[in-house]
Amino acid sequence: MVASAAEWTIDRLAAHAGMTVRNVRAHAARGLLPPPRMQGRTGFYGAEHLARLELITHLQAEGFSLAAIERLVEATPNQSAERALAQYLEMLTPWRAEPPVELTREEFASWLGGEPASYRALVDAGMVEEMGGEHIRVHSPEMVRAGVEAAALGLPVEALLRTREAVLAHLDEVADGFVDLFRRTVWQEFVAAGLPVAGLGDLRHAVASLQPIAARTVMSAFRETMPRAVGELVREASQVLEDGDAGTI
């Protein structure tokens, strides 16, 4: 059992947390750790520091950047930061990425209706991970399926993967906007009220309801912009036909 008293030097704290001393110092410099108990020029750390480092590791595994974690710490009272961060992570459970699926190559081919010609490109892009033997791990299964279906229509896999990266880059900004909106309104009000346990149910409901709202907003915007893009293609094709040079379409 980890003692509650501040009794570890920074190297022992790092060892308990499975980090390097350099990483611990970097987290402390960003204000992500409470200050140590000083004895002379030596700082001593305890269970609260270990818990914070473990939570930081957990948040990073969930895809949170250090900058995002820093903003969360700044947005919460010091005495409740640990509790606030843990609850914030729990609130975002409905938003977690689609989990990877582990399959054999045969199961993968059956799942897709035949192994795609683009298999190696999917591996090179990190969307399919070879685990050894016949076993593979499929990351973002629905995105892989959509990509394979698009490739079956004749769209180049490499171009599809580049388009995917571009889409993800734009969606990062969209996701940050929705999360920031939630943080500055519903979440901040919850923190200001003292993180009441009685309000957790309403907070979870708000987060769960926000997910389909965000999805519909993104899809609605896409439906508005896609016809314009297709219309431009049609206009280009019409112009080519009028010029009598269909070979350039």
Higher pLDDT, 159 or 11: 11
Nearest CA to 148 among 137, 138, 139, 160? 160
DSSP 8-state symbol, 45: B
**pLDDT reading at 3 higher than 80:** no
* pLDDT tens-digit readout, 126-138: 889 999 888 999 9
Token pair, residue 58, equals 């957990």
The mean pLDDT of the chain is 81
3-class SS letters over 16-35 = HHCCCHHHHHHHHHCCCCCC
pLDDT tens digit string along 47-90? 888 888 888 887 787 777 888 788 777 766 555 666 766 666 66
Q: Which one has a higher pLDDT value, 77 or 113?
A: 113
Sequence-distant (6+) residues with CB within 8 A of 248 are: 240
Highest mean predicted confidence (pLDDT) among 72-81, 90-99, 197-206: 197-206
Q: Give the pLDDT of residue 92.
A: 67
Token readout for 82 is 């640990």
Confidence at 22, pLDDT banded by 50, 70, 90: very high
pLDDT-derived band at 238, boundaries 50, 70, 90: confident
- Closest by CA position to 187, among listed 95, 64, 88, 96: 88
Domains of the chain: 10-74 (1.10.1660.10), 101-248 (no CATH)
> What's the confidence (pLDDT) of residue 2?
44
d(CA 34, CA 52): 9
CB 237 within 8 A of CB 245: no
Q: What is the mean pLDDT of residues 97-118?
A: 83
